[in-house]
């Protein structure tokens, strides 16, 4: 049997069995390697809060938390797009079989530009790699200029991946975008009608300058995090301040939101009170809050949270005589509301309120997150201010008894003409190795078939093209 079916440029991924649990931690994103292809075991997201500046009465500063403006949980592979996504809409686009390969067929008689999911990052290089073959143009002409794809940059420049003529031989193109530039899209040129086939199962776009990219399946799953949720008929905030966290535990089939922060805008109608000391003008907040918090209009050392202040309630009391009366405080709040900058308080609860959000759409989608078997991926939270921590437990594949196969590409003088490849494969597995095309050479060895019983070096012979 063939050791691989979809990746014709080399051996497939290693053989594994499920068994190893791994835990990784990061800020805003974590990487997953060699997933077992089952739902992620556990996810814990801890929020974050920042203020870009020191607030004052005259110059308020917004309190920003991880989900203040709506964030997303995004799980994606190192392969950031498929041939279908990039080539969709090209001239005469269709999917078809070519030489036993699953292919995208298109011509260049219509220009089209496409982007990867989530867009290209600024000042970031990308590596694009795929197998392809061309035929005559649709009018029967041969030996003409063959543009494959065109990389467009935000500065208006472009780089064209091309071939000088039509050869009817499968080739591989691996290309890295220009350093220091930002890719805007990938498209075609409307200058020829050349027929082009791209092997779907070799196409990969990967972040960074990668010398020898290996094909992996594409996947992308984005889950929006709403700023509020309805749980058992109650609308609850989902701000993700530094006092909040979400815990996903697939072993218990539970998703719990720990709401540990009290986030409130104060208006003139808010409950107020005062004592004989003018500095004790206050606005009501719940008793269960601690003294740890943020205020959008006053430095932290100019106010305090005081439990049981006046009439057994709790409130914001000002340590200096900021307001002489509740009327003055009311007028201030009214003015700020009119200006569109209401006084905002974020305070820590003494005991977080826990909400079981398993049955919500968000909870169900978080429970279902998984990386395909044997693949590598990244889980990140999109947010202007990031998060404090992101902890993830998942199952990786455990290697079975393996042997190493080293593949060398040599010419008739025994000299290596390409970088050697090493693959760890399951012992006693049957392997088929197909010699790839190397520019400027003709294959003498076309394929090697056998059983991997021990560490082996295989030499694939090439001669210079005439």
Has residue 11 been placed in a domain?
Answer: no
| pLDDT at residue number 453 | 79
d(C-alpha 48, C-alpha 28), whole Å: 10
Q: What is the pLDDT of residue 5?
A: 35
363 band by pLDDT with thresholds 50, 70 and 90: very high
Q: How far apart are CA 262 and CA 197, in angstroms?
A: 58
Mean pLDDT of 370-394: 91
Last residue of a domain, one of 398, 426, 455: 398
**Cβ proximity of 401 and 427 under 8 Å:** yes
What is the structure's pLDDT at 177? 96
Beta strand segments in 216-288, E? 220-225, 228-231, 234-237, 245-249, 254-266, 272-273, 282-285
Residues 6+ apart with CB under 8 A from 395: 18, 19, 20, 21, 22, 35, 36, 38, 41
3-state DSSP assignment of residue 114 = strand
Q: Tell me the average pLDDT across 386-396.
A: 91
Mean of pLDDT values over 5-31: 62
- Determine, yes or no, domain membership for 57: no
Q: Report pLDDT for 402.
A: 73
Kindly tell me if the per-residue pLDDT of 11 is higher than 50: no
Mean of pLDDT values over 430-457: 83
Query: Taking residues 298-310, what's their average pLDDT?
Result: 61
Q: 74: closest CA among 256, 224, 217?
A: 224
Kindly state the tokens that stand for 165: 């003529």
pLDDT of residue 410: 92
Q: Please tell me whether residues 414 and 279 are part of one structural domain.
A: no
Among 351, 368, 387, the domain-final residue is: 351
Find the range with the poorest average confidence among 74-83, 182-191, 321-330, 406-415. Answer: 321-330
Query: Which helix H or strand E contains 289, and what residues bound it?
Result: strand 289-295
Q: Are residues 278 and 382 in the same domain?
A: no
- The verdict on residue 4 lying in a domain is no
Cα Rg of the chain (Å, integer): 30
Same domain, 321 and 365: no
Do residues 154 and 169 both lie within one domain? yes
The rounded distance, in Å, linking the Cα atoms of 259 and 237 is: 8
- The sign of the CA dihedral 204, 209, 212, 214 is negative
Domain extent for 274: 262-351
Residues 228 and 361 in one domain: yes
Provide the token pair at 448: 């090697």
The pLDDT tens digits of the residues spanning 71-118 come to 999 999 999 999 999 999 888 899 999 999 999 998 865 668 999 998
Domain total in the chain: 4
The residues, any chain, with a CB within 8 Å of residue 10's CB and separated by 6 or more, are: 4, 214, 407, 421, 423, 433, 436
- pLDDT at position 328 is 81
pLDDT of residue 221: 93
309 pLDDT band (50/70/90 cuts)? very low
Least confident of 162-171, 204-213, 426-435: 162-171
Residues 25/46, Cβ–Cβ less than 8 Å: no
Q: How many residues does the chain have?
A: 466
DSSP states along 54-101: ---SSS----EETTTT-EEEEEEES----HHHHHTTSEEEEEEEETTE
Q: Which two tokens stand for residue 17?
A: 């069995």
Residues 177 and 199 in one domain: yes
The set of residues, in sequence order, having a beta carbon less than 8 Å from that of 217 and lying 6+ positions away, is 77, 79, 372, 375
Q: 134: pLDDT confidence band, cut at 50, 70 and 90?
A: confident
Mark whether 142 and 201 lie in a shared domain: yes
CATH number at residue 22: 2.60.120
- Quick one: 41 and 24 in the same domain? yes
Residue 222 to residue 75: CA distance in whole angstroms: 6
pTM for the predicted model, two decimal places: 0.72
Span 247-289, pLDDT tens digits: 999 989 999 999 999 888 887 766 666 555 555 666 777 778 8
pLDDT surpassing 70 at residue 388: yes
CATH code assigned at 455: 2.60.40.4300
């Amino acid at each position: 049997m063939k050791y691989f079916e979809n990746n014709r440029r080399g051996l497939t991924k290693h053989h594994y069995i499920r068994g190893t649990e791994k835990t990784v931690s990061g800020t805003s994103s974590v990487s997953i390697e060699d997933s077992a292809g089952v739902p992620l075991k556990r996810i814990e997201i801890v929020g974050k809060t920042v203020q870009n500046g020191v607030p004052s009465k005259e110059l308020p500063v917004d309190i920003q938390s991880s989900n203040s403006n709506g964030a997303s949980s995004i799980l994606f592979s190192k392969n950031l797009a498929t041939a279908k996504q990039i080539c969709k809409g090209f001239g005469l686009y269709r999917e078809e079989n070519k030489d036993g390969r699953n292919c995208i067929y298109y011509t260049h008689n219509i220009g089209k530009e496409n982007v990867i999911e989530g867009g290209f990052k600024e000042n970031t290089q990308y590596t694009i790699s795929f197998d392809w073959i061309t035929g005559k143009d649709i009018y029967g002409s041969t030996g003409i200029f063959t543009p494959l794809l065109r990389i467009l940059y935000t500065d208006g420049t472009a780089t064209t991946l091309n071939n000088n003529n039509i050869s009817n031989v499968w080739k591989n193109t691996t290309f890295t975008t220009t350093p220091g530039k930002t890719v805007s899209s990938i498209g075609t040129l409307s200058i020829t009608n050349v027929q082009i086939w791209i092997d779907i199962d070799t196409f990969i776009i990967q972040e960074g300058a990668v010398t020898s990219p290996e094909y992996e399946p594409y996947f992308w799953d984005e889950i929006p995090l709403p700023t509020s949720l309805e749980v058992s008929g109650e609308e609850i905030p989902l701000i993700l301040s530094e006092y909040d966290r979400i815990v996903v535990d697939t072993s218990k089939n539970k998703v719990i939101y720990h709401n540990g922060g009290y986030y409130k805008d104060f208006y003139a109608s808010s409950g107020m009170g005062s004592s004989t000391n003018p500095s004790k003008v206050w606005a009501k907040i719940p008793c269960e809050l601690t003294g740890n918090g943020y205020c959008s209009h006053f430095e932290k050392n100019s106010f305090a949270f005081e439990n049981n202040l006046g009439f057994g309630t709790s409130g914001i009391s000002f340590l200096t005589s900021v307001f002489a009366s509740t009327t003055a405080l009311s007028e201030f709040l009214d003015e700020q509301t009119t200006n569109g900058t209401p006084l905002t308080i974020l305070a820590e609860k003494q005991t977080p309120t826990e909400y079981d959000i398993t049955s919500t759409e968000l909870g169900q989608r978080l429970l279902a997150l998984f990386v395909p078997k044997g693949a590598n991926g990244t889980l990140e939270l999109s947010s202007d201010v990031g998060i404090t921590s992101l902890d993830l437990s998942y199952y990786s594949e455990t290697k079975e008894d393996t042997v190493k196969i080293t593949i060398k590409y040599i010419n008739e003088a025994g000299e290596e003409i390409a970088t050697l490849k090493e693959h760890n494969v399951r012992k006693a597995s049957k392997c088929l190795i197909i010699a790839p095309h190397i520019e400027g050479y003709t294959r003498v060895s076309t394929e090697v078939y056998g059983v991997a019983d021990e560490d082996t070096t295989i030499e694939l012979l090439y001669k210079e093209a005439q």
